[in-house]
């Protein structure tokens, strides 16, 4: 496969900092960001979403055909492909890989995306270079499903899979000789607590326009650097070459010295991340919640209360104070960065304390002589908001929210928690009142977020895993999301998803507030740097990067 980028020079080393050590190098099981960052360099998929164009393009599959009913996909593999250990690739490796992804006993996080109409996608070998994928129902943009599903070597993992020990395979402690992938690099060295080193894959299947085999780089080194500030200092000192996922505050610090330090900074505008506030609307067991939480849920369940909170939030101040202006205010969950799916007609009402007070009055709330908000029973409106202690921007959002709602007479307590402890409360124990979170899809298409918007979804955060929709508007979202899933016409899908956005904005199960800009830094010695708004922001074309 020939790439379209400018030809570069072979050789050199790229150094990148990771916030934490990867948990695994097994693409079937990886969930954490650090693992995925490394795995992307080691593996390849059949059909790939180009992060710059956001369109699908051939990868390990040189072409594909779709049946008239949209239920069968025939993929034709490139001939001559080799894993990074030199062993040839054929249809058996593809069928084996998909067997791992859909096996319930494996617990692959990708499995949910491969279950269509209640049944997993099936993969069947037609010949050595042709695989037939069959779906129970038509699936909109089904070719996008293949993105980021790494094809793994049957000759290295089949025995472990048969013995039920796949989770023990491709851990960081395993020797490099036990790994093989189809990405531009292969594992060279792991030093616990310090770094992972990758080396050029001599069997990689892409070349540049002059016929030179990619990648250009000889090595990629991932250093483990635990904090954002430490990562920024290393980048500033020239010890690392690329920086992403950092704050607007640090962007401004770097901006002051970029000419002298010989790096370039990119502010790409809003990505796909949306930050929001939501309330606990779960059906809690009678013996579990204290009476105070039951009482507060009566507030939270009233749409007028949620609308009042939304009306009182000063989104422009959040952009200015939490993100130094490098963010975009939101009133819906699709950001302006997602040009294909944004509902441009969604209202953007200005902040209005009088409007918020009217909504609260209509819901039976009132104020005492001190200005404190009281419910219909005379109880003060007071609740806590969880936020991740490791995310400074969301903690600032919580503090600003606290100030905004004080103007309505609400007493809000900000509770920073370690991220894993916070997620446990949100998804498992449901021991919380309100929370601030952020979500970001790896694709602009709506389908990867089915688990968020279906009432039965595990990340339907305000009330996950419902056996049936708790409200009529959630039932309508369920219907629309299921219907768009099998609608092959983009314009029709867009109308359905526009309606989903409208329902969310009207009923505010989540109160969207802001989308941070995608910020990237790269050393000037690097060529072919083309950062994008979809993760991995700066490393999506790592095979094309080179040292000038």
In this structure, are 192 and 168 located in the same domain? yes
In this structure, are 174 and 295 located in the same domain? no
pLDDT digits (tens, 9 = 90+) for 32-86: 889 999 999 999 999 999 999 989 999 999 999 999 988 999 999 999 999 999 9
Domain of residue 220, residue span: 13-241+525-547
Answer with the residue of higher pLDDT: 217 or 4: 217
In this structure, are 448 and 534 located in the same domain? no
Answer for the pair 78, 60: CB distance below 8 angstroms, yes or no: yes
251 is a domain residue: no
CATH code of 112's domain: 3.40.190.10
pLDDT given at position 145: 92
Answer for the pair 52, 538: CB distance below 8 angstroms, yes or no: no
**Torsional sign, CA 295, 301, 303, 307:** positive
pLDDT digits (tens, 9 = 90+) for 144-166: 999 999 999 999 999 999 999 99
Tokens of 462: 């305000």
For the chain, state the CA radius of gyration: 25
pLDDT (mean) for 481-504? 95
In this structure, are 283 and 222 located in the same domain? no
In this structure, are 300 and 347 located in the same domain? yes
CATH code of 327's domain: 3.10.105.10
In this structure, are 489 and 536 located in the same domain? no
pLDDT given at position 290: 63
In this structure, are 170 and 284 located in the same domain? no
pLDDT given at position 459: 86
pLDDT (mean) for 403-410? 98
pLDDT given at position 286: 64
7 is a domain residue: no
What percent of the chain is predicted at pLDDT more than 90?
86
273-307 CB burial, b ≥16 within 10 A, e <16: bbbbbbbbbbebeeeebeeebeebbebbebbbbbb
247 is a domain residue: no
Measured CA to CA, the distance from residue 223 to residue 439 in angstroms comes to 26
Cα dist from 412 to 5, 190, 299, 402, 461, whole Å: 52, 46, 14, 5, 20
2 is a domain residue: no
pLDDT (mean) for 397-408? 98
pLDDT digits (tens, 9 = 90+) for 243-254: 999 999 999 999
What is the count of structural domains for the chain?
2
pLDDT given at position 92: 98
pLDDT digits (tens, 9 = 90+) for 94-125: 999 999 999 999 999 888 889 888 899 999 99
Confidence of residue 298 (pLDDT cuts 50, 70, 90): very high
In this structure, are 543 and 502 located in the same domain? no
In this structure, are 202 and 351 located in the same domain? no
Measured CA to CA, the distance from residue 229 to residue 37 in angstroms comes to 20
In this structure, are 493 and 543 located in the same domain? no
Q: Residue 135: helix, strand or coil by DSSP? A: coil
pLDDT above 70: residue 242: yes
Cα dist from 372 to 153, 363, 402, whole Å: 64, 16, 14
pLDDT above 80: residue 285: no
Q: What is the pTM assigned to this prediction? A: 0.90
What percent of the chain is predicted at pLDDT more than 70?
99
Q: How far, rounded to the nearest angstrom, does the alpha carbon of residue 438 sit from its chain's CA centroid?
A: 9
CA atoms within 13 A on the CB side of 186: 20
In this structure, are 188 and 310 located in the same domain? no
In this structure, are 237 and 349 located in the same domain? no
Place of tokens 């992804």: 101
pLDDT (mean) for 384-395? 94
Burial, 207: exposed, middle or buried (Cβ in 10 Å; 0-12, 13-18, 19+)?
Answer: middle
pLDDT digits (tens, 9 = 90+) for 420-450: 899 899 988 899 999 999 999 889 999 989 8
pLDDT above 80: residue 292: no
Confidence of residue 6 (pLDDT cuts 50, 70, 90): confident
468 is a domain residue: yes
pLDDT above 80: residue 504: yes
Among 25-39, 277-291, 366-380, the minimum mean pLDDT is found in: 277-291
pLDDT above 60: residue 288: no
262 is a domain residue: no
Q: What's the distance, Cα to Cα, between the start and end of the chain in Å?
A: 23
Cα dist from 116 to 135, 162, 170, 479, 496, whole Å: 6, 26, 29, 15, 19
Q: Mean of the per-residue pLDDT values for the chain?
A: 95
Measured CA to CA, the distance from residue 330 to residue 420 in angstroms comes to 26
253 is a domain residue: no
**CB-based contacts of 209: which residues, under 8 Å, 6+ apart?**
2, 3, 4, 7
265 is a domain residue: no
pLDDT above 80: residue 199: yes
């Amino acid at each position: 496969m020939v790439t379209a980028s400018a030809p570069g020079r072979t050789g050199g080393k790229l150094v990148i900092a990771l916030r934490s050590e990867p948990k695994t190098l097994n693409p079937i099981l990886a969930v954490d960001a650090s693992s995925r960052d490394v795995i992307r360099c080691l593996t390849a998929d059949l059909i790939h979403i180009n992060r710059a164009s956001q369109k699908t393009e051939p990868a390990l599959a040189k072409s594909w055909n779709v049946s008239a009913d949209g239920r069968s996909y025939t993929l034709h593999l490139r001939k001559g492909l080799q894993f990074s250990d030199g062993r040839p690739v054929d249809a058996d490796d593809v069928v084996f890989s998909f067997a791992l992804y859909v096996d319930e006993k494996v617990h692959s996080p990708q499995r949910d995306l491969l279950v269509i109409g209640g049944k997993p996608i099936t993969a069947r070998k037609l010949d050595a270079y042709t695989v037939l994928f069959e779906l129970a129902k038509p699936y909109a943009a089904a070719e996008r499903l293949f993105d980021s599903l790494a094809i793994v070597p049957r000759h290295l993992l089949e025995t472990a899979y048969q013995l039920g020990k796949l989770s023990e395979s491709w851990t960081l402690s395993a020797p490099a000789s036990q790994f093989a992938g189809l990405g531009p690099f292969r594992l060279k060295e792991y030093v616990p607590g310090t770094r992972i080193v990758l080396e050029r894959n001599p069997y990689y299947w892409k070349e540049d326009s002059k016929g030179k085999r990619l990648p250009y780089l000889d090595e990629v080194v991932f250093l483990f650097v635990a904090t954002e500030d430490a990562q920024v200092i290393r980048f500033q000192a020239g010890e690392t070459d690329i920086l992403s996922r950092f704050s607007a505050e640090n962007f401004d610090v770097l901006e002051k010295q970029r000419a002298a330090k010989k790096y370039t900074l990119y502010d790409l505008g809003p990505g796909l991340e949306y930050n929001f506030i939501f309330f606990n609307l779960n059906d809690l067991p009678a013996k579990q919640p204290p009476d105070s939480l039951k009482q507060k849920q009566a507030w939270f369940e009233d749409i007028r209360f949620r609308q009042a909170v939304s009306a009182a939030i000063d989104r422009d101040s959040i952009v200015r104070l939490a993100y130094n202006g490098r963010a975009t205010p939101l009133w819906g969950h699709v950001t302006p960065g997602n040009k294909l799916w944004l509902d441009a007609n969604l209202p953007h009402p200005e902040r209005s304390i009088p409007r918020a007070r009217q909504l609260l009055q209509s819901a039976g709330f009132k104020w005492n002589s001190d200005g404190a908000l009281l419910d219909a029973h005379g109880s003060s409106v007071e609740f806590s908001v969880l936020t991740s202690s490791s995310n400074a921007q969301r903690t600032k959002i919580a503090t600003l929210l606290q100030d905004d709602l004080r103007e309505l007479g609400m007493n809000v307590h900000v509770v920073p928690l370690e991220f894993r402890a916070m997620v446990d409360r949100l998804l498992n124990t449901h021991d919380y009142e309100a929370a601030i979170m952020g979500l970001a899809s790896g694709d602009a298409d709506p389908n990867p977020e089915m688990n968020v918007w279906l009432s039965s979804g595990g990340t339907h955060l305000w009330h996950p895993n419902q056996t049936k929709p708790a409200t009529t508007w959630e039932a309508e979202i369920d219907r629309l999301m299921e219907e768009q899933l099998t609608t092959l016409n983009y314009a029709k899908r867009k109308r359905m998803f526009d309606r989903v956005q409208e329902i969310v904005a009207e009923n505010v199960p989540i109160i969207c507030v802001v989308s941070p800009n995608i910020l990237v830094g790269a050393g000037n010695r690097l060529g072919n740097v083309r950062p994008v708004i979809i993760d991995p922001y700066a490393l999506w074309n790592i095979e094309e990067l080179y040292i000038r």
